[in-house]
Structure 1
Amino acid sequence: MKDEHALLHVEGLSIDIDTGGASKKVVSDVSFTLEAGKTLCIVGESGCGKSLTALSILDLLPVAAKRRVKSLNFGNTALEQLGAHELASIRGARIAMIFQDPMTSLNPVFTVGTQLTDVLRRHKPVSRREAMERASYLLERVGIANPGIRLRQYPFELSGGLRQRVMIAMALMCGPELLIADEPTTALDVTVQAELLELLKDIQNEFKLGLIFISHDLGLVSKIADEVIVMYAGQIVESGRANDVLRNPLHPYTELLLRCVPRPGASVPKSALMSIAGSVPSLDAEILGCAFYDRCPVHDDACRQPLRQAGDGTHGYLCIKPGAMRRSVEAQP
């Protein structure tokens, strides 16, 4: 049921991809709600449907992909009912997105200043001078020194960290209500990752943004999330408040993701990090029951039966043996 105070409410989202005559479901019946000013983190391995879910909100899916959704409400606006022109007026203005690789998202033949000001002037009736002043302010706000010089430079003249900061500034140019960050720290070193994560938190507090943060790293997620969605093979396998999901994981996949995160004082120095055996099912795989069956250490024949979401309304999971993996580990001598 839709929360009347929700910033974003997604219900029954599915995505199919045409693979040359055959239609493959890559996201299946995803539903979630984001409150204004809160952070929702979507986590999972590559190929689990995280980015496609985010792109579908703004209808930025690949040509071969088709979105089906029961409702997609942004405040009082039903996004699924908007035409191309109406949706274009919302993209970049009320909902902004930070993409994973800024080098491929920024245009190499235009200066940073031109790209930033074009975003604002596309949506707001401001002069070029006013747009440049806001661009300069935001570059400084995201931690870029000498913004006047940077505005005249081209993306290839900047480091990866600076380009990502430019992308954040660009996303903020029109003062959006919702910011979607698609693995914005993946290509950066650990120090820059920490700086950008802190920057996103500060900016969210300052501008009162709703934030959807997509990542495969539960270590990062634990630092910023209010709510967490864990996706696997296009499905939500666990969801709830961050403390509940991260401290008391009920799905074996969530438990294994958490074990892959190195812990200071607990991980053995110079030892190999844990990984999850196997891989995400291919689009051609026939899935009976739990999609995680082949990789799950605690599966049995009952896991091949049809599944449905369970939980108490605040902590949901898609598993017939919730918490079984943790109990099996705790029972070991």
Structure 2
Amino acid sequence: MSGEKCAICGCRKFTPNPVRGEVTCDDCGYVKEENQIDFNDMNHTHGEHSHCAPTHGRHIGRNPGNRTYIDRRDVQNRTDRRLWHRMRRGNEKSNLRANEIVREMEWRFEGVYVDAALEALHICFTDEVDKGAVKLKRPYHQMRDMKSKDGKDDVYVVSVSAVSTLMALSDFCLVPYFIWKGVADSLGLERNDCIKHKRHIKRFLQAMYLAHDNIVTRYAAVPLLRLRAQALDSLFQDLRKSLEHLEVERREELLKEVNERLQKLGEPSLLGDLGDERPDTLTAVVTLVVAEDLGIGISKDVVAMIFHFSTGGMNAPMRRCAHIVRARA
């Protein structure tokens, strides 16, 4: 676009970036305008706060349409213009984020995850369900500490919200066990952010379930043995899928022995208890121990990659658990 000169280099060529809501100089990259407002866009703003915009479909003016649009004739009327601005500001914090999270889930995950998450998103990311006696803040508001200067813009917040919600539902055994580390790494999310906001969501859902009789889904703690068995089974199936894409000799023999070792570790024994080990850590250690015992050439790096560990992160679990796994073979 051409217009006035750039204040830095004097160039007249500027390019609008509708995603970030900025207008930048083509030559030097100077940001001429930022946080632009587009009144014809349903989100109003682009960039950091675009997920906090209104979604209600009412209109101010003569033409029935979207609330985010005002007729040219009504702009000339000071009263109508003031009313439109007041209603737009009053609706800035509505449930657009929940809709964005649903679209993110539909794009990345299977339908069983999306269907189970709808009620949780309705409770956590909209104000339509009254909190009642619950004094906790909604996860919607607890995620506002993410700032775009840290690279955590609206897209990052929506992705963290989607992953954290599915992590919480997985802890309630409402969805198949969610192997979230690979998803978080592929989206460029910090694992600590996902864990922290999963705790917010899980705690809020439990409190809302106890305080309301009309919440159908049971957001309550499940027996740890049930959750652990589900996790071990899902991780074993993920191991099977991963080995299909790797050149590993005697793959079926390895999988059969790993499955048998995992089942034996669930039995009581005087040699030691591995019940406190995380399911992904335990499955990784068993896989590596079985491969070493059978003489199958699979390295520690490959096992760490399958279970989303660093190579050095396998050393301590191996020292702690390998002798117990071998003793209970």
- TM-score relative to the length of structure 2: 0.26
Q: Of Structure 1 and Structure 2, which has the larger fraction of its residues in strand?
A: 1
- Kindly name which structure, 1 or 2, has the bigger radius of gyration based on alpha carbons: 2
- TM-score relative to the length of structure 1: 0.26
Q: Of Structure 1 and Structure 2, which has the larger fraction of its residues in helix?
A: 2
